[in-house]
Amino acid sequence: MAAHRIVVVGGSFAGLTAAYDLKRELGDAADVTVIARGERFVFIPSLIWVIAGWRKPGQIVFDLAPSLERKRIRFMHATVEGFDMEAGKVLTDRGEVGYDHLVIATGPKFDFEAIPGLGPAAGTTLSICSMSHSIDAAKAFLDFTQDPGPVVLGATQSASCFGAEYEMVFNIDRALRQAKIRDRAPVTFVTSEPYLGHFGIGGMGHGEPMVKAFFKMRRLESRVNVAFDHVEPGLIHFTNGEELPFKYAIVIPPFKGVDAVTNTPGLGNERGFIPVDDGYRHVDFPNIYSAGVAVAVAPPEPTPIPTGVPKTGWMSEVMARVAAHNIVADIKGGERKELPFGEISALCIMDAGTQGVILVGDHVFRPRDREWLIPGPWSHWAKLAFEKYYINKMKYGVSRLP
């Protein structure tokens, strides 16, 4: 009997977890292929440390091909351009790849174009969304330290990476202090969240007063519940008519689905994210699954300014595990799993320089029976340890570890 063809699109948290789990459970019964546009895995949570020079790019990456091939998983370095669901094919710039089951774990497209004048390409604001963006932001930061001025950090409407934006503001604040220019570099945090500590999930525990206390202690200004209208060099314009000058700015843009999904009618929703059931199977195509940021998730509550839902590395891995389990059940039989996104446990380490907060909850969305926010220096140590642990876990394919 021919081996079952499984294609995983994406080589980050969700994609690697799904691929390793599928090959481990199915063995020779499945040919697993990972297609990714990048040749390396990047530990995205550490990109904030690249900006200040606390991490070199080579310290937080590894090559995908040898890691996957060690587990007898084929790696294809290619850009996916679309999908033919009827024929069961992934369309790439290096040819077509057939599949019996497909896992879409692409992550998002960074929609800088949604805000006129926003982003590195426009020459205005910087970004930490990718390795290349962070390297450029690091170079700009070195220049900025020689001639400081107002700093703006945060995220636009429809962004969904709130843990990163808070880590960014605290770590840049630390870097400015180390450079001894903090007094000449006032910092303003901007966000679509209705209040500090909303995190895109409706808040958690005493998050709001805790974040406000951090901001007061660090002398950080904030503008919440704001939407970007357009950006010009040195000046952000909000939809409420307010303006905010800057000399150095890192802004997380809106997220949307990747072009390969938006170019394929019927595959994604209006924003290009994949609609799935509680088993992370596509609602219309039973042999297509999705995990990670590519999944469509509705906010738990409406907010005055559109605010996306964060899909962290932890959440991405959990979704990928459920998707992989259900593909194995499709092929070998057995009980399927269902885990609604809002019922995934919340687990996040928010680094704040030498301090931080560990966030733990039994559910991402309320109601929750248990939720804790644990501040202290151990949060910083925990993230340092987790970085090393997770990079090696993925490098050597031991996805069964927690």
DSSP code string of 238-293? ETTS-EEE-SEEEEE--EE--HHHHTSTTTS-TTSPBPB-TTSBBSS-TTEEE-GG
| Residue 348 a catalytic site member | yes
| Residue 129 a catalytic site member | no
In whole angstroms, give the CA distance from residue 270 to residue 13.
Answer: 24
Show the DSSP H helices in 60-161 as ranges.
64-70, 131-146
**107: three-class secondary structure by DSSP:** coil
Cis peptide before 367, with omega less than 30 degrees from 0? yes
Spatial contact of 80 and 35, defined as CB atoms under 8 Å apart:
yes
In whole angstroms, give the CA distance from residue 182 to residue 264.
Answer: 48
Burial (0-12, 13-18, 19+ Cβ within 10 Å), 65: middle
Catalytic residue among 44, 348, 349, 364: 348
One-letter amino acid for residue 118 of the chain: L
Nearest C-alpha neighbor of 48 from the set 169, 159, 199, 145: 169
Catalytic residue among 50, 76, 161, 357: 161
**234: three-class secondary structure by DSSP:** coil
Q: Give the angle subtended at the CA of 392 by the CAs of 317 and 44, to the nearest 5°.
A: 55
The catalytic site residues sit at 161, 348
